A and B are shown apart, each in its own frame.
Chain A
Amino acid sequence: MKSRALKSKALRSLLRAKWPLLAVILLFGITLAAVIGPSVAPRDPNRQNIIARLKHPLQADRKGHVFILGTDGLGRDVLSRLLYGARVSLVVGLVAVIVGGAVGTLLGMLAGYFGGWTDDVIMRLADIQLALPFILLAIIFLLVLGPGVLNLILVLGIGQWVTYARIARGQTISQREKEYVEAAKALGQPTASILVSEILPNILAPLIIIASFNVASVILAEAALSFLGLGVPPTVPSWGGMLAESRDELLSGRWWLAFFPGVAIMLTVLSFNVLGDWLRDLLDPRSAAATR
């Protein structure tokens, strides 16, 4: 009953506000691009054609083929790479957040529910991670683990678990004294079930808000790691990688190599940020203070 009321409230709020609606439409479009993009992409994103390199948008090569968004330094079609890159960037962003969110929420709930020794260990682990800037941690572990999309997702995911853990812990602490939890314990419900079916639904709201913002920051972090040479391997197109590859071309005025992936990143990140704002206003107006 509660969730149905929430859903209709959400829909009404969405239709009334312009920016979140735009953000949702944009994200839908980007997801569409990620899903069907590879099938409609005009060319193989890794197909090199060094004779036709650095063509600007709508320029044709000697054979008369037109590149709608131009070509990059190896003659690869920018549009195709952009479409394939949507899939990579979105998958990396979402999976990293899911991984980090799941791990963080689990550890946070365990720390909050059991307290004592468990709480201490988990919080000290969190402190150890927070004792270093994320990028340092990322660099060290990517150099140890090696390149690859999977390792990148792992590093990006593990980099954020603390945020979720802190919130989950705080929320679990305030929930565990509540009556419904006492009741469940009295009825002999196993702990795991209490955590998942009783407490989790009640603490999900702030976590989802944070997740939304974190997708944005993960996509930006992927771009930064690509700039440092630690992102996805060059045979995998990604927006961050395309942006990083474009940096030597800006001086010579080849704007399209940075513009299209840059705009793609900005719009996606912007949309997730707007979405997060709207979710926060909708679900939990007091959550600003809970994000410490």
Chain B
Amino acid sequence: MALYMIRRLSQSLLVIFGVSVITFLAMHMGGDPTYLYVSERASNEEIIATRAKLGFDKPLSVQYLRFAEGLVHGDLGTSLTYRTPALPVVLKRFPATLELTFFALTVAVCVGIPLGVLAAINQGKPLDGGIMLMAMFGQSMPNFWLGIMLILSVGLGLRWLPISGRVPLLDPLLDGDLDTMLANLPHALPYLIMPGMTIAFFSLARTSRLVRSSMLEVLSQDYVRTARSKGLTELRVIMHHAFRNAQLPVVTMLGLEFGFLLGGVVVVETIFSWPGVGRLVFNAINHRDIPLVQAAVLTFSIVFVGLNLLVDLLYAQLDPRIRLGS
């Protein structure tokens, strides 16, 4: 087990290194970004001077070495847009995106799983058909369309929820300030609901469909028939025997779901003015703020790779065949 972990860890580090090199090359491929950071009326001399100030006059290899050197010391350079260190800028925006992702994941779990179980139990009946129809639509709808429709109907039309903005929840929590977080909770939830649901809808649909098919597969197994014939109540059969065994693929999927959600936030964060990391990275790439993009990409890849590792470990824990085999 330990050997397996070490091997996976070293592979992960290689992957992260590969990502940073590819990003560096990609961001520099379009020429240098100096022109995007000079005044509208800057003269040629000023542009040349600015290029030197920002360090883009050096050859690419020198620039990458500088970046790698800084990386070893934990310094990912200074954001060209914000003039402050790049990594703290990225990390500061993460809690906002995580709030959306956790909300969506919670909805997917708390609503999607029961719906999937319900549909599986009632297979073929109208309830199953209704749930699956809704799930199908949920997976077929462009999420930005859903977001704008929510703003116009629930936000502007019904005035039930605020249209945009945010009250921080995770930031006080991560700072260790539980009191502020709890005080903010009732104010924060109204802002969280619309953007959260816009992202969650797709996951909710997908989760309920996966749980349904997982359950159906398990419900047809021999050991379930055995449990039923033993006279166990249907609920016990479902909860203890069927559901527990359906968990493995669901767990795997949820791990990947988190990563998928993290990637889907750019559009939603733009529409709802949610100050998260998706919007930050998108703008950074658009402005060729290379240090900021590098910092964000590095952070993302560490999170994703870490997640993958976690899921792998969980998988190995849950399925002894993997742990014991190779």
Contact = CB atoms under 8 A, between A and B. Distances in A.
Contacts of A224: 142-144, 264, 267
A124 B267 contact: no
B125 to A, nearest CB: 15
Contacts of B26: 140-141, 144
Contacts of B50: none
A36 interface: no
A218 interface: no
Contacts of B141: 266
B238 to A, nearest CB: 18
Interface stretch (A45-53, A131-139, A176-184): A131-139
Contact of A133 (B15, B16, B285, B300): B300
A292 B210 contact: no
B252 interface: yes
Interface in A253-292: 258, 262, 265-267, 269-270, 273-274, 285-286, 288-289, 292
B137 A135 contact: no
Interface stretch (A4-12, A67-75, A110-118, A243-251): A243-251
Nearest to A253: B152
Nearest to A240: B142
Contacts of B144: 223-224, 227, 244, 247
B11 interface: yes
A143 B308 CA distance: 28
A18 to B, nearest CB: 10
Contacts of A266: 137, 140-141
A132 B11 contact: no
A288 B217 contact: yes
Nearest to A287: B213
A133 B139 contact: no
Q: Is the interface of A mostly helix, strand, loop or mixed?
A: helix
Contact of A131 (B148, B210, B305): B305
A35 interface: no
B10 to A, nearest CB: 11
A223 B16 CA distance: 29
Interface residues of B, number: 51
A292 B305 contact: no
Interface string B127-150: 000000000110111111100110
B19 interface: yes
Interface in B12-29: 12, 14-16, 18-19, 22-23, 26-27, 29
Nearest to A141: B26
Contact of B217 (A223, A240, A258, A286): A286
Given A135-B266, A216-B140, A288 B30 contact: no
Contacts of B22: 128
Nearest to A271: B140
B137 A288 contact: no
A78 to B, nearest CB: 16
Contacts of B305: 127, 131
Interface string B195-208: 00000000000000
Contact of A140 (B149, B285, B304): B285
B297 interface: yes
Contact residues on A (Cβ < 8 Å of other chain), bracket: 35 or more
Given A124-B14, A269-B140, A270-B140, A258 B145 contact: yes
Contacts of A143: 30, 285-286
A262 B145 contact: yes
B84 to A, nearest CB: 22
B169 interface: no
B301 interface: yes
Contacts of A131: 15-16, 19, 300-301, 304-305
A130 interface: yes
B259 A133 contact: yes
Interface in A200-255: 216, 220, 223-224, 227-228, 240, 243-244, 247, 250-251
Contacts of B143: 224
Given A124-B15, A286-B217, A140 B140 contact: no
B282 A139 contact: yes
B281 interface: yes
Nearest to A128: B18
Given A140-B27, A216-B139, 4 more contacts: A140-B285, A224-B142, A250-B152, A267-B140
15 contacts: A130-B308, A132-B297, A140-B285, A220-B140, A224-B264, A227-B142, A228-B282, A247-B148, A250-B149, A262-B142, A266-B140, A273-B136, A274-B136, A288-B213, A288-B217
Top 8 A-B residue pairs of the complex, sorted by shortest distance between their CB atoms: A133-B263, A131-B301, A269-B140, A223-B142, A127-B15, A270-B140, A128-B18, A266-B140
